[in-house]
Amino acid sequence: MTVKKLSYLMIALTVTIVSCQKDPSTSDLHKDYLVYTAYDTSVNFSGFNTYYIPDSILLMTDESQDVYWSDEDALEIVNAVVTNMNAYGYTRTEDKETADLGIQMSYVKQVTYFVGYDNPYWWWYYPYYWSPGYWGDWYGWHYPYQVYYGYTAGSMLIEMMNLETGTASQKKLPVIWDSYIGGLLTNSAELNLTRSLQAVDQAFEQSPYLKK
C-alpha cells in the first residue's frame, strides 16, 4: 500500500490512494498552495544516513536545452530542504558516488504538460528532465506507487531516490519519496519565495516517516 498526502496552507488532509492521483484544481485557492507527498511504504528510512543534493533547481521551460536555477532564491529553497533533511537526522555529503540518497528539485516555469506512470521513463514527454545517468549507471526510473500529474507554471517537484539499490536486471532508479507543490506562482517574487520555503517545510512536516 502506498500512502499519499495532500495539504493546503492552514488545512491538512490525509488520503490513501490505490490507483492514481489527479492534481486538484487550485483556481479558487488564491491564498493557498498545494503540497502533495507520496512514499514507498515498504522502505525503512531509518536505514539511510547520507544524502546528496545539487546546488541548483532544474527549470522546466520551453527552452531547447537544460536550464538550471541557481541564484540566491534557488539556493535558499535548496537550503530549506537541507535544513529539514539535517533536522530529520540525515547528513549531507558532497560525494554523490557514496551517498545513500539522492534529492533532486525541479520547477515548472513556463510549460504546461502532463506526466503519467504509463512509461518506464518518468518524464518521457519532457526531454530535459534530470537524467537517471546523473546519479550513476541507472537504466531508468522506478516509482513503487502509481501517479499521474498535470503540471502548470509555478509547480515544484522534490524527489528522493534510493541510490543503494535497484532492479538487478534493468538497474531502475527507485524513487522512494516525492513531493509535488502547486500554487506557488504569483505576481510577487517575494511572495513566491515565501510560499516555496513554507511549502518545503510543509512537505517534510507531513512526512514524519522520514525521521530517523
Q: Is the pTM of this model over 0.95?
A: no
The pLDDT value recorded for residue 142 is 82
Measure the CA–CA gap between 128 and 44, rounded to whole angstroms. Answer: 31
Chain segment 141-153, per-residue pLDDT in tens: 788 887 666 667 7
pLDDT at position 22 is 47
Q: Is the model's pLDDT at 197 over the cut of 80?
A: yes
- Single-letter amino acid code for the residue at 210: L
Q: Which residue has the cell 526531454?
A: 127
Task: Write down the pLDDT at residue 88.
Answer: 98
The domain limits of the chain are: 3-210
Contacts of 208 (CB under 8 A, 6+ apart): none
For 3-210, CATH number? 3.30.160.670
pLDDT at residue 30 in the model: 43
- DSSP one-letter string for 42-85: T--GGG--EEE--SSEEEE-S-SS-EEE-SHHHHHHHHHHHHHH
Output the pLDDT for position 124: 45
Grade residue 184 by pLDDT with cuts at 50, 70 and 90: confident
Cβ atoms of residues 123 and 113 within 8 Å = no
pLDDT of 139 reads: 79
